[in-house]
Structure formats: C-alpha cells, structure tokens
C-alpha cells in the first residue's frame, strides 16, 4: 500500500527544507571549530559529547515548556522509534570519534559522508526507479568535492587500522540510521521535541559510560564552560532540530547530499577564524559541494516523489 510521505510537493516548502540543512551544516562547521580549543585543553571527546547532548536537550525543553507543552507528548507508537533515535545520536558520535582516533581523518570523513551515495542506491532499489539526473549530478559534485576537501589521495592506505575501518563503517551506518530515524520520529512529533528527547537519551547513555563524578575538574577551567555551553546550543540543539525540520520537507537522501556542506563550512570558518589555509584543490572542492546544492534546487518533483510504501 502506498501512502504520502513527509516530503512536501510545494517548491517553497522544499526550499525551506534545504535552507534548514544549509543552516544546520554551517552550525555543525562552527561546532567543529569551537570544539578544537576544548580538545586542545584536555577535554575528552566523551565528556564533550555528554554535555553537548545534555545542554542541547535541556535548552530545547526550556523553549518548549512555556507555551508548547502539548508538543512534549510522545505518542505511544513512537516510543520505540524515539529510543532508537536517541541511541543512534549517541552511537554516531562515538563511532566517529573512535574512527578518527585510529584512521587518518580524511579517510574517516570520506567513509561517513559517503552515506548520501549509499542512500541514493538504497532509495533506487526501494522505489525500483533510477535517481533523477539532478540527484546524480548533485551527488557527484558533493562527493567529489568531499574527496578534494579531505585530500584523501595523500593518505597512506598501506597501514590502515582494521578496527579504525570497522568503526568508520559503523559511523556510516549510524549516520544513515540517524537520517532515516529522524524522518520517522518527525512524523509524529515536532522537530524540537524529538531532538530534545533524543538528546537526553544520548546524554544518559554517555553519563552511564562516564559518570559525572569521574569528570576531571580541569574540564571547567578558563573559558571551557562557556565553550561547552556554546557547543550544546550551537552544535546540538539548533542544528539537530533544523535537520529534523528539514526531514519533514525533504527526503533523507537529499538531506544527506546537502549535509556535505558541513565540510565546506568547517573549512571556511577555520580559514577565517583560526587562520588555517585552503589549498587550490580544497577550494575547488568547496565550489563543487556548493554546485551540488545549487543543482538540487532545480530538481522537479516527479509524480511519485514523496510516496513511501
């Protein structure tokens, strides 16, 4: 039986969805640059992730409580999906950090952000229909730009850590699961509520792994407290809520393609803020990713678009 999916038919709604993903990608890029001083200051990845999800979830609950209490209700049929979404939020970050700790970051990023390519293949098999020319061109531009941005050809492939590859593949699977589960939970709940509950579930998982009383006091030295707060708001609450809002308007495959913009945003912010440089190939990569985003804007929705089984 076919039924209408969450993707809207109106071009204006799809444009809003794409703008949400673009804004989320910019915030994720900013988050990466805010996190660098914290890691350099001795804050562990697990500690930062735990507080990132906790602060993000609490901030969204504070926003929802005054006038949108009805939005906080979780339909019984969505409890399982919401729990799975929260677990995925926790695991996608954990597996990514494990991958980059054992692999060159270029390889880890390329594997995780290849999610859009695999989702395009999966969608084609599920719908029994080839992707549109616009999607294929956007995918080639976005993934090609990602390869140039990461400079993966400079990596030494002869000494790759098998466990690093294992965690990188897991991060790819959990990233795909995050997009698909995000689309599912947003059918029955507002993006803000789904992100709030999912973040708190992820935070609970991380605090079970690392109880609060074991966190070093040096975590809060200097400006670390303000930076951690910024990561929770700008790197968790806002971008993840925007992602779920976009998934109500644009299907997960296209969201995955546009999400490659995070690499461009991170590189440009690092160039402007931290003084890091972009070489010629990385600059070309930025242009290609942006070209992929522009190409998607010219895609026309087919009569069967937005229908799911």
Measured CA distances, 38 to 131, 212, 221 (Å): 42, 18, 10
Q: Which residue in this structure is represented by tokens 């678009």?
A: 305
Q: Which residue in this structure is represented by tokens 């339909």?
A: 75
Q: Is residue 99's pLDDT more than 60?
A: yes
Name the β-bridge partners of 4.
Answer: 307
Question: Closest Cα partner for 13 from 303, 294, 249?
Answer: 249
Report the pLDDT value the prediction gives residue 306, as an integer from 0 to 100: 45
Cβ-count burial of 25 within 10 angstroms (0-12 exposed, 13-18 middle, 19+ buried)? buried
8 Å CB contact between 86 and 74: no
Say which residues have a Cβ less than 8 Å from residue 19's Cβ, sequence separation at least 6.
Answer: none
Say which residues have a Cβ less than 8 Å from residue 100's Cβ, sequence separation at least 6.
Answer: 108, 109
CA-CA distance, 208 to 204, in Å (whole number)?
A: 6
Cβ-count burial of 28 within 10 angstroms (0-12 exposed, 13-18 middle, 19+ buried)? buried
Report the pLDDT value the prediction gives residue 206, as an integer from 0 to 100: 92
3-state secondary structure of 77: helix
Q: Which residue in this structure is represented by tokens 């504070």?
A: 62
Give me the mean pLDDT over the 224-247 stretch: 88
Say which residues have a Cβ less than 8 Å from residue 43's Cβ, sequence separation at least 6.
Answer: 219, 224, 228
Does 124 or 53 have the greater pLDDT score? 53
Report the pLDDT value the prediction gives residue 55, as an integer from 0 to 100: 94
User: Which of 31-35, 75-79, 122-126, 202-206 tops mean pLDDT?
Assistant: 202-206
Q: Is residue 2's pLDDT more than 90?
A: no
Q: How far is CA 201 from the centre of its chain?
A: 17
3-state secondary structure of 265: helix
pLDDT band at 1; cut points 50, 70, 90: very low
Q: Tens of pLDDT along 274-305?
A: 666 667 887 888 888 888 877 876 666 554 44
Measured CA distances, 27 to 40, 42, 216 (Å): 20, 23, 28
């Amino acid at each position: 039986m076919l039924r209408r999916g969450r993707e809207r038919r109106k071009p204006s709604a799809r444009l809003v969805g794409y703008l949400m993903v673009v804004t989320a990608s910019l915030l994720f890029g900013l988050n990466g640059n805010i996190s660098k001083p914290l890691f350099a200051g001795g804050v562990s990845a697990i500690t930062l992730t735990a507080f990132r999800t906790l602060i993000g979830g609490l901030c969204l609950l504070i926003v929802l409580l005054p006038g949108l209490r009805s939005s906080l209700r979780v339909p019984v049929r969505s409890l399982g999906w919401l729990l799975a979404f929260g677990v995925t939020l926790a695991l996608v970050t954990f597996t990514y950090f494990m991958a980059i700790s054992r692999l060159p970051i270029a390889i880890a990023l390329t594997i995780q952000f290849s999610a859009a390519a695999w989702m395009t293949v999966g969608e084609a098999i599920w719908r029994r229909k080839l992707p549109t020319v616009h999607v294929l061109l956007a995918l080639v531009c976005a993934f090609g730009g990602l390869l140039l941005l990461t400079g993966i050809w400079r990596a030494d492939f002869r000494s790759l850590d098998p466990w690093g590859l294992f965690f990188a593949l897991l991060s790819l699977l959990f990233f795909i699961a995050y997009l698909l589960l995000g689309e599912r939970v947003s059918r029955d709940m507002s993006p803000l509520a789904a992100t709030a509950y999912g973040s708190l579930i992820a935070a609970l998982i991380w605090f079970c792994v690392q109880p609060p009383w074991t966190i070093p006091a040096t975590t809060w030295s200097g400006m670390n407290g303000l930076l951690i707060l910024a990561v929770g708001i700008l790197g968790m609450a806002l971008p993840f809520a925007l992602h779920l809002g976009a998934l109500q308007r644009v299907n997960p495959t296209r969201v995955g393609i546009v999400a490659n913009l995070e690499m461009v945003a991170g590189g440009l912010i690092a160039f402007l803020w931290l003084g890091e440089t972009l070489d010629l190939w990385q600059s070309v990569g930025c242009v290609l990713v942006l070209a992929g985003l522009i190409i998607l804007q010219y895609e026309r929705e087919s009569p069967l678009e937005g229908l799911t089984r």
